[in-house]
Chains A and B, each alone.
Chain A
Amino acid sequence: MAAAKKKDSLGLVVRPMRRTGSQVATSLFLGKPNTVLYPYQKLELPIGYRGKHIVDFKRCIGCSNCVQICPNDCMWMEKLEDPELGKIERPGVDYGRCLFCGLCVEICPTVAIHESVEFELASGERSRLKYGPKELRDDAFAGKVKEERQKRLLPILDMSKCTSCEKCAGECPEMCIAMMPIESVGRTKPEINLGRCTSCKKCEAVCPENALKMEEVYESYFEMPEPKFLLKMCTGCGACARACPADVIYMIDMPGTEKVLKDGKKGKPKKRAVFILEKCVGCGKCFRACKFEALEWPGVRK
């Protein structure tokens, strides 16, 4: 498509000037210029625009996945006291460092953080660029933004109510539930293959203790790492269960481990941690909380 080089002398002045002259006529008489008289007129931004973050305090579980994935270390978790929600930890953002990349939005397991269309964040001092969680709070943003992640209705297990009756495993038409033994406890717990679940809700209906509840779970595109549990190092202290934001760990009694006390009575049995890994969000708080090296985290060498 190489065009021949035009060598005529009209091209000295006339041809380019005709182009710009028609542009002057267009923007003077046939319409308005292309620019927008900011700040009196503003541009309309599309809904997917990545601007200031908004955090839904009710959806957020305080797992700090967003803080860990931020490429530039812009976020931090702040401990707050909320009248409704009690003692919580919610994220804040330092806009002096934020790239507006949107990775924190993608990795959030409960779609609790989102980037809104607001972009006018400039200020005169660097310290005012740090936005704490209270300034980012917007508890009803879910209705205003376009949600892209698919959600599914999946059965979530509450181990404190489970009696190992094995009725759910028998009822599931897709054979998603398998009862796996818990080491040294003598009971079994249902392990659900969430990939095959069709949300038919039969397991929820048949469970006599209401230990299986159907909840809406968002699909995640990042592979969430899961901790590996070493039973012989576990002392049953329960630090991991307290640290977990997603209710994954349940401390269960190990029967047969009661110590005999001095006055002949039997003491309390030792506990061990039981993991319901379908709920795990991969935040790593349990790994950091355990002081007895009972948990292994993938990718971290001993």
Chain B
Amino acid sequence: MAEMWINMGPQHPMTHGLWNLRVKVDGETIVDAQPEIGYLHRGIEKLCEGKSYPQIIPLADRLCYGSSLTWSHLYCMAVEDLMRVEVPERAEYIRVLTIEMQRIVSHLMWLAAYAGDLGLAAGFVYTMRDREVFLDLFQSLTGARITYNFPRIGGVAHDLPPNFERDSLRALSYFEGRLKEYEDMFEGSKIFMMRNVDVGILRKEDAINLGVTGPTLRASGVTYDLRKDVPYSVYEEMDFDVATHKDCDCYARYRVRMDEMWESCKIMRQALQKMPKGKWRIVAPRNAPVGTGLARVEDPRGEGVIYVVGDGSERPYRVKIRSPIFVTVSAAPKMLIGYKLADVVAIMGGLDMCIGETDR
């Protein structure tokens, strides 16, 4: 059969989000690939220039709606760097607790979409059902389920509700049992392994040269995690390992994310244990000084950076957002060429694309 260009997207069940992937196939083998993004551009960086600092927090939530707490927390960290504000310690521990819970939620959603794409409908439903347990915890803490609007400049919005510790420990022990079941159901299924092993290989040098970060980089054997290498918040006091894997294929990326979920459970338990008493929020100044603020955070998808420029008024002069998936998408052709058309789903699903942060 002759070579032809196929458009996967922008309206497609596989692409989680709104982007286009053009692949050139020769029969079933992929010969070339061109991702096209920009369909979900909402002008968030420009919108930020017209809003005051507290008003941007709900907007930052909607950057990546899959893991919204990470982005609003990152924005608050950047503004606190600009305004030179010290966050109380209880607020830092609450932030770490909620960020790790958000990481679990985001990875569960990735797992659901991944299993659903591969045809395993049972995997989709079970992971979504267990995600509800954590969303209920978030609901009792912040009042919303997906876009929480929880971090504030100078701390967090609410204190932990009563019985939160008991409920989260119960949720964690339930969840760790289910994680074991998922490993059994996914890795014990030979068909799943056949679809994932030796598919979509991204070598270590290519990963570093293309600027890929996050689980994709760690699945290629590079031990680089911002929580350990450039620690922020109270991560220095938490005891956890960085999950890496030496095969560079889709199975390695799956394995790295499962290990990250185990580590997040560990960190959550430690945060609940070590939480000090005290204030959870301080009054932050309304006007920012003239200057800049920068913050980097380990998003479930990679490294996110926000750079804020203040000009003395209550609105920022410029907010610049660096998204990890923007870089990983450009690395996609390296991973796709030479594999079959049916592997596109496994490979692109393994990258955990969230187009909200890519297009901003």
Stretch at the interface among B16-24, B136-144, B231-239, B336-344: B136-144
B278 interface contact, C-beta 8 A:
no
Instruction: Name A's interface SS.
Output: loop
Cβ–Cβ < 8 Å partners of A148 in chain B: 158-159
A186 interface contact, C-beta 8 A:
no
Q: A2-B245, A20-B122, A71-B51 are in contact. Are A48 and B140 (CB under 8 A)?
A: yes
List residues of chain B with CB under 8 Å of any chain A CB: 51-52, 54-59, 120, 122, 126, 129, 132, 139-144, 147, 149, 152, 154, 157-159, 161, 181, 183-185, 187-191, 193, 197, 243, 245, 251, 255, 259, 262, 281-287, 312-314
| Chain A: number of interface residues, binned into ranges | 35 or more
Instruction: Check A103–B58 contact: CB distance below 8 A.
Output: yes
Instruction: Check B152–A221 contact: CB distance below 8 A.
Output: yes
Cβ–Cβ < 8 Å partners of A223 in chain B: 283-286
Contact partner, B190, options A9, A50, A225, Cβ 8 Å: A9
Instruction: Check A11–B188 contact: CB distance below 8 A.
Output: yes
A298 to B55, CA, bound (A): 18
Instruction: Check B144–A100 contact: CB distance below 8 A.
Output: yes
Instruction: Check A299–B189 contact: CB distance below 8 A.
Output: no
Residue of A nearest to B56 (CB): A71
A298 to B122, CA, bound (A): 58
Q: Which A residues, 96 to 110, have Cβ-Cβ distances below 8 Å to chain B?
A: 99-103, 106
Instruction: Check B184–A19 contact: CB distance below 8 A.
Output: yes
Instruction: Check B158–A48 contact: CB distance below 8 A.
Output: yes
Instruction: Check A6–B245 contact: CB distance below 8 A.
Output: no
A46 interface contact, C-beta 8 A:
yes
Cβ–Cβ < 8 Å partners of B284 in chain A: 223
Contact partner, B139, options A12, A20, A49, A100, Cβ 8 Å: A49
Cβ–Cβ < 8 Å partners of A11 in chain B: 188-190, 193
Would you give the 0/1 interface string for A36-51, flagging 1 where the beta carbon is closer than 8 Å to chain B?
Answer: 0000000001101110
Instruction: Check A1–B139 contact: CB distance below 8 A.
Output: no
Instruction: Check B59–A71 contact: CB distance below 8 A.
Output: yes
Instruction: Check A115–B283 contact: CB distance below 8 A.
Output: no
List residues of chain A with CB under 8 Å of any chain B CB: 1-3, 5-9, 11-12, 15-16, 19-20, 23, 34, 45-46, 48-50, 69-71, 99-103, 106, 115, 148, 220-225, 298-301
Instruction: Check A102–B143 contact: CB distance below 8 A.
Output: yes
Cβ–Cβ < 8 Å partners of B157 in chain A: 102, 106
Q: For the complex of A and B, list the 7 residue pairs with the smallest distance between their C-beta atoms, beginning with the closest.
A: A50-B143, A11-B190, A71-B55, A101-B58, A15-B188, A46-B140, A223-B286
Instruction: Check B54–A15 contact: CB distance below 8 A.
Output: no
Chosen A-B contacts, 5 in total, with CB atoms closer than 8 Å, are A15-B185, A34-B129, A48-B141, A50-B144, A71-B51
Cβ–Cβ < 8 Å partners of A49 in chain B: 139, 143-144
Cβ–Cβ < 8 Å partners of A12 in chain B: 189-191
A300 to B314, CA, bound (A): 9
Cβ–Cβ < 8 Å partners of B54 in chain A: 69, 103, 222
